[in-house]
Amino acid sequence: MGPKKAFTAEEAEEIKRSLDFLSEEVAAMRKQQRDILDLAGEIKVLRLQSKEKSDLEQYTRINNVIVTGLHVKPRSYARAVTDDNGGEPGERDGSSTEQQVAAFLQTKGIELRCSDIEACHPLPRRKTSDIPVVIIRMARNLKKQGKIQNTWTANCKIFIKLNGSPEAKAMVIRDIAELDKFQ
């Protein structure tokens, strides 16, 4: 090993400036790292909120039924106010969208009362040549009336859980007529 070289004042000053510069760079990198970690935390929170929102939207769409190919003539507000005489469900010009949909479904053998419909309206079309689509939001009367505890769907089957004991079993509903015994 050779003799130790003594630093000159200029070299020591240069080393000191380099260390100061590197210290500032490390401090800046630490700040950026903290900012990145904060943003990563915010991203996790936003992903969780997005999943929760998606789940809630899914449960609100459970009661929606979409009918395609049904031509309905929406009732204008002015006509509804001036011509509110409760016309026949078969009349397309004077009846509400709910009545038109119920009448159509009755012709197909599906019994549906207008009181079972919470909301019903045609969806907008991009072109007039597109197939018309009507969305129906079914009312959840049995749950609101406290006659059943819960409803859900799985594998294209409708399940209900009756009110009563917590160990009540779930029932599969195969036909809308099965719900009439709970009315």
53, part of any domain: yes
Could you tell me the pTM of the whole model? 0.41
Q: Which helix (H) or strand (E) holds 161?
A: strand 157-162
Give tens-digit pLDDT for 90-114. Answer: 344 447 788 888 888 888 777 777 7
To 5 degrees, how large is the angle CA 31–CA 34–CA 39? 125
3, part of any domain: no
Q: Please identify, among 42, 61, 80, the residue that sits at the C-terminal boundary of a domain.
A: 61
Domain that holds residue 100: 62-139
Do 155 and 128 belong to one domain? Answer: no
Q: Which helix (H) or strand (E) holds 22?
A: helix 9-61
Domain count, the chain: 3
pLDDT at site 119? 77
Helices (H) and strands (E) in the chain, counts: 4, 6
Do 107 and 166 belong to one domain? Answer: no
Instruction: Give me Rg for the CA atoms of the chain.
Output: 34
Structure tokens at 87: 């016309």
pLDDT at site 37? 96
Give all strands (DSSP E) within 21-138, no chain letters: 64-68, 117-122, 133-138
Cα distance between residue 126 and residue 120, in whole Å: 19
Cα distance between residue 69 and residue 130, in whole Å: 9
Do 122 and 156 belong to one domain? Answer: no
End-to-end Cα, the chain, rounded Å: 100
3-state secondary structure of 143: helix
Of the candidates 71, 62, 63, 145, the one whose C-alpha atom is nearest the C-alpha of residue 101 is 71
1, part of any domain: no
2, part of any domain: no
3-state secondary structure of 181: helix
CA distances (Å), 94 to each of 71, 76, 166, in order?
14, 9, 48
pLDDT at site 47? 93
Do 16 and 55 belong to one domain? Answer: yes
Residues of the chain with pLDDT under 70: 1-3, 58-63, 74-94, 139-147, 156, 164-168, 175-177, 179-180, 182-183
Cα distance between residue 74 and residue 121, in whole Å: 8
